[in-house]
Structure formats: structure tokens, C-alpha cells
Structure 1
Amino acid sequence: MNANKELWEKGDFTRIAQGMRKSGESLAHTLGITPGLKVLDLGCGDGTTALPQARLGADVLGVDIAANLVAAGNRRANAEGLKNCRFQEGDACDLQGLSDSSFDLVVSIFGAMFAPRPLDVAREMVRVCKPGGRIVMGNWIPNDPTLVAQILKISASYMPPPPAGFVSPMAWGVESHVMERFAGAGIPRECISCQKQTYTFEFPDAPSTVVDTFRKFYGPTMGAFDAAAKTGQSDDLQRELEDLFQVQNQSTHQDATCIPATYLRVAVHVGKGNGF
């Protein structure tokens, strides 16, 4: 079993994605979508950015390693009658079946960063992007004080040490690593830009309820609670996460949660003279 596939098929990430819809739509509106633009949304989940891009007129293919999320994305697209948006299973490290230079825009928002072989991910994104096309990534930043980086940091503290050779997905949130990885795919430094931006999670529930949602449905948090249970630390992990969500909640309503999280937005121009 592919460990990355197993992680994201665990639980039901669609329950987390429901709190990401508004920011996903806002982000899609910043991508310069024009009617007929061919877009690959990689690590797309159930379509938080893919569906808004399709609504703007793009021809969107969503690719995700998790079969349950692909099925959910297709259901959402079908329910909206979006004939220009479809989802299929695929591995960001090896995009089998996708031809070279076939997309005007490759987008991966908190998706491909979790694939285990980042150099292969960069090469594959460049390979399938047309000369003159663009790649846009959104990546969480290691040790950032905001929500997601802290969830992952807290969760990791309850987990066994990672296996030898493990490359943290958070390295995609470090500009120097981004430059190095795309350089290995033939992209010069001057064609890459990085900027910190904000993504907001919004749930119609109190922070403690949202923590329970993450505990039941978010793969990394589920794994952390499984590990914590074996050492009798489940209550400690629950308390740490509830404190985190409570402190960072900016909602003015007692039974709602609104938490901004900082991420690194990466923009890559794939020129006619670079790439494979």
C-alpha cells in the first residue's frame, strides 16, 4: 500500500475542506483564469480550487492520490453540471498518462507538497506544463506560528520518528528548497517567485468541535491520536490542539471558528527554453 495514498484516504478530508471553500474560491480568482485555459489541479482533494477554476471557464483536470477524494470531486462537479471539470486518480511523483506540455496552468494548493519525492514532483509539474505556461503552488511553512504548521508540528510530536530518508513536506514552504527543486527541473531562479499569503479556515462550529472534526477526519491528526493512544497521551494531544484552535480563533461568534493560516505561494514561469 502506498503510504501517502493510505494517509489521505484515511478519514474523510472533505469534512476539513468544507472550511476551506471560501478561501479556495478567492485564490482561484487570483490565478488569471480565462475561458478554455487548460488547468491541472494536482493534489486537488475534492475540488476546493478546481471547481472555482472551472466556474471561471477553465478546462480543469483534478488529480489526487486518494480514490475517495477523486470520487467526491466528480460528484461535486456533476452536481453543478460542470462538464469542464473532471477528477482522476494519480501520483504527483509520476503523472502517468499525462502528456508532456499539455496544460497552460498547473496548480497545487496544499497538495503536491505532501508527495514523498519532491524532486520528481517538480520535474513532473514542469514536464506537463506548456512552454510559456505557469505553475502555482500553495505550501505550508515549517515552524510558522499559524494554524496548519502548528497542527502538523504538534501532531508530529506524538508520532514515532519518521523512517530513514523521510523528507518533510514542510520543506516545500522554504524558498531555498523551492528554488533548488525547480532548478533540478530546468527552471532558472529568475523564473520563480515566492510570497507569503494567508488562507482562512472557516467553520460554523466552536473551536473544540472543529478539533473533533480534525481528530475524526484529517489523516495526519488521526495518525497522531492513534500514536498518542498507545502511550496514554490522547488527552494531552486533545488539550494542545484545543488550546491552539481557541487562541487562534478570530471569530466574534462563540459557536464559529475563523482562523487565518500563513502559506508560501510559489509562482513558476515555464519558458520555451527550460523544462524537459
Structure 2
Amino acid sequence: MNPNKALWEKGDFTRIAAAMRESGEALVDGLGVTPGLRVLDLGCGDGTTAVPAARRGAEVLGVDIAENLVAAGKRRAAEAGLDNLRFQQGDASDLRELDDESFDLVVSIFGAMFAPRPFDVAREMTRVTRSGGRIVMGNWIPGDPTLVAQVLKTSAAYTPAPPEGFVSPVTWGVETHVRERFEAAGVPAENVVCERATYVFISPTPPTDLLQTFKHYYGPTMNAFEAASKDGRADELEAELTGIFEAHNRGGADRTEIPATFLKVVVTKP
């Protein structure tokens, strides 16, 4: 099986996404989504940004590598009565089933950054975007002191080294790499704008509950706990992650409200 597909089908990202809905709505509010706009949400999960975009009248296609998340997205669309929202399985590195210049807006929030072959990802996103259209990415930043970057960094420290040639997903959070990838896809450097932005994980339960959700349902963290258990270090990993979740929480003892910084990338296709 495709390792990336296996990673995201391993858990159940819908459990994490439940804490991301409010920020997903806020992000879509800032994208200028209008009725009839053709939108591709790449690495869409169960629709954290696809559903709000469809509610604003856009014609939305959500594509994700994980079949369980595609199924969950279809259920959400049906329950919301959104016949302008479709979901299908696909790989951000190879969107051969999608036509050239078929979308006005391509969105990928913490999605396509995890796909292999980042230059192929940039090329494919650019190819399916119409001239004058936009690509908007949200990417976690390596070494950033906020939540998700620290969770990924800590998890990686307990996980076996990746295979030779592996490109870390968080390189998408480095502006020079982003520009290099889109320039190779034919986008001039001046058409790529990067800025830091904030996503907030919100839950009515304590931050330790959100940690348990990551432990049991988030692929990278699940892998880290499996590896740590084999080495007898699972308690050590849990203690480290507990410290991270509690230190970053702004919601008090019984509520989770944890901000996480990401790199927002806006590309205008020439």
C-alpha cells in the first residue's frame, strides 16, 4: 500500500478535525469564496474547509488519499444537504483524473504538505488551477514553538528514521522551499506570498483529552507510540506530549484552546 495512504487511514482524523472546525470556518471566511466558484480542497479530510466553502455556494471537490476520510466527508455533505460538494479519493502528487485549469481556487490546509514528492504536488496544484486563479496552502512550520510543530518534532524523535530520499512534510513550512517548488511549476516568485497565521484547536474538554485523541487517532502520533512501546519509552513520550499540550493551552483546566502557528501560502497562477 502507498505509505502515505496507510498513514492517514491508520487512525481516524475526523476525531482531530472536530477540534478544528471553528478555525476552518474562519479561514474560509478570509478566502473570498463566492457562489459558483470552482474549488478543489486537496487533502481535505472530512471537509473542515470543504464544507464551509460549499455552504457559501462554491462548487467544491474534496480529494483525500484516505478512503475512510472520503467516506466521512460524503456523510457530512449528505447530512448537510450540500449537493454542490463532492468527495473522491486521490493523491496530491498525481491528480491525473483532474483536468488542466479546472478550478478557480485550490485549497490545501495541512493536507498536501504530507504527500510525497513535493515538486510534483506543486506542479499538480498549479496545473489544475486556471490562469488568474489562486492556490492557498496552510503548512506547519519546522521547529516552530507552537503545538503541532512540537507534536510532530517529538513524535519523530521516537520513530525510526525514515527511508532514504524521504522529504519531511514540514519543509512546506519553509518559505524558500515553497518558492522553489512553485517556481519549478512555472509560477514567478512574485506570485507567491507567504505569511504566518494561527489555527486554534478548540474543545470543551481538557487538553489531556485532546492528547489522547492524537495518541489513538492521529497517524504520526500513533506510529510514535507504537515505536516507543517497543523501546519501553511510551510513558516518556506521553509525559513529553502532556507537557506540550498543557503548556500551550489557553482555555483553562477544563477546556482546550490551543493556538498553533502555520505558514499561509497564497499563490496566484499567471
Which TM bucket (shorter chain)? Answer: over 0.9
- Post-superposition Cα deviations, 1:32-56, rounded to whole Å, max 9, x if no partner, equal 1111000000000000000000001
Q: Supply the distance in 1 between the matched residues of 2:10 and 2:96 (Cα, whole angstroms).
A: 24
SS in 2 for 1:251: coil
Q: Supply the distance in 2 between the matched residues of 1:77 and 1:50 (Cα, whole angstroms).
A: 9
Q: Supply the distance in 1 between the matched residues of 2:97 and 2:213 (Cα, whole angstroms).
A: 35
Shift of 1:13: 0.4
Quote the residue 2:263 is aligned against. 264
Shift of 1:209: 1.5
Quote the residue 2:185 is aligned against. 185
Map 1:241-260 to 2 at 5 A: 241-252=241-252, 254-260=253-259
Partner amino acid, structure 2, of 1:260: P
Map 1:35-114 to 2 at 5 A: 35-114=35-114
Partner amino acid, structure 2, of 1:32: G
Partner amino acid, structure 1, of 2:117: R
Contact in 2 for aligned 1:90/1:96 (Cα 8 Å): no
Q: Supply the distance in 2 between the matched residues of 1:227 and 1:60 (Cα, whole angstroms).
A: 38
- Post-superposition Cα deviations, 1:107-158, rounded to whole Å, max 9, x if no partner, equal 0000000001100000000000001111000000000000000000000000
Shift of 1:211: 1.0
Quote the residue 1:175 is aligned against. 175
Establish whether residue 8 from structure 1 lines up as the match of residue 8 from structure 2. yes
SS in 2 for 1:139: strand
Partner amino acid, structure 2, of 1:87: F
CA RMSD of aligned residues (A): 0.5
Partner amino acid, structure 2, of 1:233: R
Please report the TM-score for the alignment, with normalisation by the length of structure 2. 0.99
Map 1:17-28 to 2 at 5 A: 17-28=17-28
Shift of 1:96: 2.1
Establish whether residue 205 from structure 1 lines up as the match of residue 205 from structure 2. yes
Q: Supply the distance in 1 between the matched residues of 2:181 and 2:90 (Cα, whole angstroms).
A: 21
| Count of residue correspondences | 270
- Post-superposition Cα deviations, 1:24-73, rounded to whole Å, max 9, x if no partner, equal 00000111111100000000000000000000110000000000000000
SS in 1 for 2:75: helix
Map 1:95-244 to 2 at 5 A: 95-244=95-244
Please report the TM-score for the alignment, with normalisation by the length of structure 1. 0.97
Question: What residue ranges of structure 1 are gaps of 5+ in the alignment?
Answer: 272-276
Partner amino acid, structure 1, of 2:91: D
- Post-superposition Cα deviations, 1:211-238, rounded to whole Å, max 9, x if no partner, equal 1111111000000000000100000000
Q: Supply the distance in 1 between the matched residues of 2:210 and 2:111 (Cα, whole angstroms).
A: 21
Q: Supply the distance in 2 between the matched residues of 1:11 and 1:226 (Cα, whole angstroms).
A: 13
SS in 2 for 1:216: helix
